[in-house]
Structure 1
Amino acid sequence: MRDPMPLTEMKSYTGRQEVPSDFDEFWDQNLSELSSSYEYKLTPMDFGLPTLDCYELRFKGTNDATVFAKCVFPKNKSNIPVVFTFHGYMGQSPDWSDLFQYPAVGYGIVAMDVRGQQGKSTDPQSVIGNTVKGQIIRGATAGRDQLFFKDVYLDVYSIVEIIASLSFVDESNLSVFGGSQGGALSLVAAALNPRIKRAAVFYPFLSDFKRVLEVGNRDEPYDELSRYFKFSDPFHKTEDTILHTLSYIDVKNMAHRIKAPVKLFTGLEDQICFPSTQFAMFNRLSCEKEMVLLPEYGHEDLHVMVNDSIFDFLTGFDVVVKTQLD
């Protein structure tokens, strides 16, 4: 089912719920409780590549998790700009060979495995409530402090801090990109960590939960919301409470914190992360922003011209080309 909201209405739509009054206080408090001295280990990986340095990064996250990431940097370089990328829901970081594009032009790249999904990050947290494929709703019945994605968002903040602290990294030139869950986490990185200078985002997940319920999205992974109510609260007695709790991880509510330029790619045929939920986030941004509409695209891999546009935006090549043309 295509998004039932007309495009003309989407262009001014800002979502079904407002930001909780203590939203910034909640996140600022959580960030302040993170240790300024991170426990991490960079392990060199010898792939016989003469121009690249590859590392496995592991660091201690909240709730005793161990967070894993792949890191690739140009060899024997200093002041290296770095791009962070985040994968889609239930996935993992790309293969090593898929990460060589940015180092080829002098950028480092860092790809984090989200805890509790298919990669090497661990997730030892025990929770009360539905955990049947249910990381969106996980912890919501116990309150905002127990939300699964609260800890993932703190992992995102922490990995940026760790990489920024490396002696060979240019901490003033850090960017993010990703799609779906990765798009949401890219927005979170820009919202929580002012070190991020650019964000390229495509069809972001985790936005405008009440709209998702209203539309009746039954596709993965938003079916987790309907699953919760169907089997745990068929009369929706807890709907207001659950949605209020989830509002603390709703990325549209992060928009006002983002200062870095954002370039958003939205497929108008998206039946997973409906375009209206993406507009709800985009229309709340007060930073420099651009939205690129893709009429023939759904929630799928990006193809011709789109990936080059993301690459050019993150590396600044689009500015170089424009200057040359001018």
Structure 2
Amino acid sequence: MPLVDMSLEQLQEYQGRNPRPDDFDEYWSRALAEMRAVKAEVELVRSEFQAPNADCFDLYFTGVRGARIHAKYVRPKNAPVPHPAILQFHGYTGSAGEWCDKLSYASVGYSVIAMDVRGQGGKSEDTGGVKGTTLNGHLIRGLDDHPDNLLFRHIFLDTAQLAGIAMGFPEVDPDRIGAMGASQGGGLTLACGALEPRIKRLAPTFPYLCDYLQGYDLDLDPGNQELKRFFRFHDPQHRRKQEIFTKLGYIDIQYLAQRIRGEVILGISMMDIGCPPSTQFSVYNKITAPKSLEIYPDFGHEYLPGFGDQTMQFFLGL
């Protein structure tokens, strides 16, 4: 099998390297309490795009720290009520994508809700407000501030809040919710299932946001420069390295993984330099819920043939 990382045998035993903060559980209990105290002020606005088999809406809600979060909501016409719903999360810097991408699930009677990550390529707000550098990316946002101000903390909470909102819609069966996404979207899928454990099925593809220290030290991805630039400009001799990666441990998906209760199918590409396989296995090996792994030996951070069809078959079992 081609390798850019460890052997498959080593990966199956790998448990991750990034430090786990001692107060990790208290951190997320505090975060969830903040989220639950927010008045969501959900708004549905009929979109300009409509389809014969579905009603399409722009969905807005207020997340933590006052950010207004946007999602695309596609609701099938003439489907039984209540029916299942799929939450979709996009890759880093992207957006919820095209309306037409959601219609395949609407055609089988499933609602689809695709979230724009705050401050990235869609309509969701990033309200900012942290001390220290923001440099050029979201991963380092808040590293010089209190851990409660890490931007990805807020993004993870947005996914859980969105799931709760979907579960409250009268047309949606709260016991038949799935979540999916690739790269950043794969990480957010897992975060959503961990922070809202009522999610029944999860289909992440090569998840990002895992085992940051391992990814940094492997230094395989020339396009992932945020942490490298942070150290070059703000800690050139790495005197704060332990501190920085421990703080990133609060938003490391591997340490949320044991909270997942839904069934997981994970697609992984063994030649992935964007999200190295070992970082993904650090999460997969910690999931205690029912799980399965689909391995693509010759593929990188790219389209995985057949996994989309397999994912739909997986969700048709909701």
Shared fold (TM-score, shorter chain, > 0.5)? yes
Cα distance change on mapping 1:214 and 1:127 into 2, 3 Å: same
Q: Quote the residue 1:73 is aligned against.
A: 75
Q: Quote the residue 2:200 is aligned against.
A: 197
User: How big is the shift at 1:218?
Assistant: 4.3
Deviation track 1:295-315 (CA, whole Å, cap 9, x = no partner) reads 121001233x22101111122
Q: Give the stretch that moved more between structures: 2-11 or 120-129.
A: 2-11
Q: Which runs of 5+ in 2 are unaligned?
A: none
Letter in 2 for 1:288: P
Counterpart CA distance in 2 for 1:177 and 1:227 is 31
Counterpart CA distance in 2 for 1:261 and 1:91 is 26
Aligned residues: CA RMSD: 1.7
The answer (yes or no) to whether the contact 2:31–2:148 under 8 Å persists in 1 is no
Q: Quote the residue 1:122 is aligned against.
A: 125
Match of 2:177 among 174, 177, 202: 174
Deviation track 1:184-219 (CA, whole Å, cap 9, x = no partner) reads 000000000022000001100010011112212442
Counterpart CA distance in 2 for 1:238 and 1:195 is 38
Match of 1:133 among 121, 132, 136: 136
Q: Which runs of 5+ in 1 are unaligned?
A: 318-326
User: How big is the shift at 1:76?
Assistant: 3.9
User: How big is the shift at 1:237?
Assistant: 0.8
Counterpart CA distance in 2 for 1:7 and 1:214 is 19
TM-score by length of 1: 0.92
Q: Quote the residue 2:235 is aligned against.
A: 233
User: How big is the shift at 1:7?
Assistant: 2.2
Q: Quote the residue 1:289 is aligned against.
A: 291
Q: Does 1:12 align with 2:10?
A: no
The answer (yes or no) to whether the contact 2:194–2:259 under 8 Å persists in 1 is yes
Q: Does 1:244 align with 2:246?
A: yes
The runs of 4+ residues in structure 1 deviating greater than 6 Å are none
Counterpart CA distance in 1 for 2:241 and 2:192 is 28
Q: Quote the residue 2:309 is aligned against.
A: 308
Letter in 2 for 1:230: R
| Paired residue secondary structure (1:276) | helix
Q: Quote the residue 2:62 is aligned against.
A: 60
User: How big is the shift at 1:45?
Assistant: 2.5
Q: Quote the residue 1:97 is aligned against.
A: 100
User: How big is the shift at 1:36?
Assistant: 6.4
Q: Quote the residue 1:320 is aligned against.
A: none
Counterpart CA distance in 1 for 2:121 and 2:48 is 24
User: How big is the shift at 1:2?
Assistant: 5.4
TM-score by length of 2: 0.95
Counterpart CA distance in 2 for 1:76 and 1:195 is 26
User: How big is the shift at 1:125?
Assistant: 1.3
User: How big is the shift at 1:21?
Assistant: 3.1
The answer (yes or no) to whether the contact 1:2–1:271 under 8 Å persists in 2 is no
Q: Quote the residue 1:142 is aligned against.
A: 145
Letter in 2 for 1:25: E
Match of 1:275 among 265, 274, 277: 277
User: How big is the shift at 1:266?
Assistant: 0.6
| Paired residue secondary structure (2:123) | coil
Counterpart CA distance in 2 for 1:214 and 1:101 is 40
Q: Quote the residue 1:321 is aligned against.
A: none
The answer (yes or no) to whether the contact 2:38–2:62 under 8 Å persists in 1 is no
Letter in 2 for 1:207: C
User: How big is the shift at 1:44?
Assistant: 1.8
| Paired residue secondary structure (2:267) | strand
User: How big is the shift at 1:131?
Assistant: 2.2
Counterpart CA distance in 1 for 2:60 and 2:176 is 22
| Paired residue secondary structure (1:196) | coil
The answer (yes or no) to whether the contact 1:72–1:103 under 8 Å persists in 2 is yes
User: How big is the shift at 1:169?
Assistant: 1.0
| Paired residue secondary structure (2:57) | strand
Letter in 1 for 2:119: G
Q: Quote the residue 1:162 is aligned against.
A: 165
User: How big is the shift at 1:48?
Assistant: 4.8
| Paired residue secondary structure (2:144) | helix
Cα distance change on mapping 1:17 and 1:137 into 2, 3 Å: same
The answer (yes or no) to whether the contact 2:38–2:64 under 8 Å persists in 1 is no
Deviation track 1:33-53 (CA, whole Å, cap 9, x = no partner) reads 222642110112254533211
Counterpart CA distance in 2 for 1:48 and 1:27 is 39
Alignment of 1:309-324 (within 5 A): 309-316=310-317
Letter in 2 for 1:29: R
Counterpart CA distance in 1 for 2:38 and 2:136 is 33
Q: Quote the residue 1:323 is aligned against.
A: none
